[in-house]
Amino acid sequence: MSAPPAIRTRQDYEALAREILDHDRRYYVDNNPILADAEYDRLRKALARAEAEHPDWIVDWSPLQRVGHEPLSAFQKVVRSVPMLSLDNTYDEEDLREFHERVLRGLREVHDPVPPCYVLEPKIDGISIELRYEQGRFVQGATRGDGLVGEDVTANLRTIQMLPLLLAEPVSITVRGEVFIHRADFDEINRACIEAGQEPYKNPRNFTGGTLKQLDPRNVAGRPLRVLVYELVGDRIGQEPLAAHREALARLRRLGLPVNRDLCSASNLDELMAGIRAFAQRRKALPFDTDGVVIKVDSLAQRRALGTTARAPRWAIAFKFPAEQATTIVRQVEVNVGRTGAVTPVAILDPVELAGTTVSRASMHNWEQVRRLDVHIGDVVLIEKAGEIIPQIVAVIKERRQGREAELVPIMEPTVCPACGDTLLRRPGEVALRCPNTRPCPAQLREAIDFFCHRDAMNIEHMGPKLIEQLVERGLVRDVADLYDLTQEQLQALPRMAEKSAANVIRAIARSKQEATLSRLLTALGIPSIGWVWAQKIADRYRTLPALLEADPEQVRKDLTALHGFGPERAGAVADFLADARSRALLHKLMQRGLSPVEPERQGGEGPLAGKSLCVTGTLRVPRAQIKARIEAAGGKFVSAVSSKTSYLLVGDAPGEDKLRAAEKHGVPLLTEAEFERLLAASDGQGA
């Protein structure tokens, strides 16, 4: 073994750090080490001694500085200038043909005569991330989030040995990739969990996502995460322009970034399908999970010409392999009644593992679907996750019925509501079976109360499903207006309801009345097709509940149809609601209990926000209606969309990408909640 390297100067130290990083790349990225383990360990020990003796020499890209020593208190938000768009999905050759023809058509429209060449890459089933390097140094890594805003997980990503902390050249770039774990490593971790008597992890993707969410990087360092880069953001590296995606990947690989080399090209539909079929044959041999193939136009100039939609590039698509499926047995059928009276069948199954989760229930959507599938209780069925999220029955394995026919029980469409006994019906042109009981049906009433109390509606806290069920069962609440008649004594008489809990509910109900706006009430009523945005438009038009009630329903239909974006269907739903005698009775009953909210004027006035217009996106610490009221009380104007006239965009958690993109386009400043509070604190009549 050679002698330890002599480290006399800072330059010697940095040279040794670079040498170790080069060996890391050869080992973790190229899978081609040129140094024995003992020699490698000797170099790391020499570097550790140098950093201990000369802490002022330490550089943040040192291979010994991957793991931080202090846990984070929370992840900071990262707002991107270039959004991470989603990919459109396709599942068959016909959809792929349509994508190819759209690309050809798009290129013809810009008079590009060059046929497109495609690059096919495995779609790794991991966690998407964005990496930023400045002057060759890794400075930031963020999760995808909603596309425009992600979470800063730099400290955790630094622990991944495959990820270079220093590039081979001092260039500033942003790249995107996927973090994942090999199946063998995941299986080993689960074996250790089982041996320790702990619950094993469900699947590699969930494990990876949970690891990246660890607040202490030291916990992440012990987990064998990996990363592969699949995209350069932009079309140049430094001053070097690039012409094609494959050229960019090759350049990134020379910089030391781990790039997936399992690529192939195609220039027509036949070659595309051949490449997909070939990958389908070998995907199980890969060490990591994949769920499809990503197909991208190779030419960067053609990508620019094709452009993007609001959510996805027109030059790329994901060919998804069939969802993971499993077989199980239908044991019974549960009949659910929703807020609108729709009665739907849900199959209760023998529990089975599917795509990393245990499934014991599956939707059958409607009774037409039950008949089409010919499902019986006792049948062996094939289930999959629709969009890999919602379990559903896709087929009955009728071959498995042989010899078991006597065990099978037909599933009969109900004729009466399981909650109230009313006769079920179908409206003309509808597939859904409905309970028509608006007197009301207990199941519909429970759902309606839950919706009324929701945070985005009347925001009545402490009103959980169990309490709602008791209130309905005991007849204390027969419609949402009865909530405002409840007393603390009535609530305290309920099982498991202590004095303090009852008092909290009563205070929350009173507060909802005080903080109500007309738009919040209209949202809470659950008028078909009317969510918060449309409720606000109605409230802006009529301002008060009495004014809305006094208006002729047919005139309301005309007025709302004329509003931009409202449309005749939504306008008709509102008019029908206002023409219904039961709806009007409920609204009058609410007014009699003191709930007659006014929609605040949005014209602006005096105050620290006078002359300013603010839009809000994301989840804030207080209800949005309260934020609107505070903006208007400060003289500002609340707007529902961002334009060039918007003064600020107030950004909460999980903001909408459309509003963030519009703010960037129009140069609208972003406000955090803390900055918003400082604006409201402005005095002496000064503008914000």
Domain ranges in the chain are 10-65, 89-320, 325-410, 442-515, 518-592, 613-680
The pLDDT, as a whole number, for residue 387 is 43
For residues 643 and 235, which has the higher predicted lDDT (pLDDT)?
Answer: 235
Between vectors from CA 583 to CA 579 and to CA 587, what angle results, nearest 5°?
115
**Distance in angstroms (rounded) separating the CA atoms of residues 280 and 661:** 37
**Distance in angstroms (rounded) separating the CA atoms of residues 374 and 395:** 9
- Whether residue 142 is predicted with pLDDT greater than 50 in this model: the reply is yes
Q: For the ranges 157-171, 215-229, 557-571, which has the lowest average pLDDT? A: 557-571
**Distance in angstroms (rounded) separating the CA atoms of residues 358 and 385:** 12
What percent of the chain is modeled with pLDDT above 70? 90
From the number of C-beta atoms within 10 Å of its C-beta (0-12, 13-18, 19+), residue 550 rates as: exposed
The whole-chain average pLDDT of the chain stands at: 85
Q: What is the pLDDT of residues 116-131, one digit of tens each?
A: 999 999 999 899 999 9
**CATH C-level class of 613-680:** alpha beta
Sequence-separated (6 or more) residues with CB below 8 Å from residue 68? 155, 158, 217, 218
- Whether residue 685 is predicted with pLDDT greater than 50 in this model: the reply is no
Active site residues: 123
Sequence-separated (6 or more) residues with CB below 8 Å from residue 282? none
Sequence-separated (6 or more) residues with CB below 8 Å from residue 232? 173, 174, 175, 242, 248, 249, 251, 252
Q: Which fold has domain 442-515?
A: DNA polymerase; domain 1 (1.10.150)
DSSP 8-state symbol, 439: T
For residues 189 and 546, which has the higher predicted lDDT (pLDDT)?
Answer: 546
Query: Would you tell me the crossing angle of helices 624-633 and 499-515 to the nearest 10 degrees?
Result: 50
Same fold across 518-592 and 613-680:
no
The pLDDT, as a whole number, for residue 487 is 95
**Distance in angstroms (rounded) separating the CA atoms of residues 292 and 320:** 4
pLDDT band at 17; cut points 50, 70, 90? confident
**Distance in angstroms (rounded) separating the CA atoms of residues 159 and 179:** 12
The CATH H-level superfamily of 518-592 is: 5' to 3' exonuclease, C-terminal subdomain (1.10.150.20)
**Distance in angstroms (rounded) separating the CA atoms of residues 49 and 9:** 13
Neighbours of 125 (CB within 10 A): 19
**CATH C-level class of 10-65:** mainly alpha
- Whether residue 686 is predicted with pLDDT greater than 50 in this model: the reply is no
**Distance in angstroms (rounded) separating the CA atoms of residues 349 and 328:** 7
The pLDDT, as a whole number, for residue 194 is 64
pLDDT band at 607; cut points 50, 70, 90? low
pLDDT band at 303; cut points 50, 70, 90? very high
**CATH C-level class of 89-320:** alpha beta
N- to C-terminal Cα separation, the chain: 69
**Distance in angstroms (rounded) separating the CA atoms of residues 400 and 336:** 28
Q: What is the pLDDT of residues 165-199, one digit of tens each?
A: 999 999 999 999 999 998 888 888 877 776 655 66
CATH of 325-410, picked from 3.20.20.70, 1.10.490.10, 2.40.50.140, 3.40.366.10, is 2.40.50.140
Average pLDDT for residues 49-70, to the nearest whole number?
80
Neighbours of 306 (CB within 10 A): 22
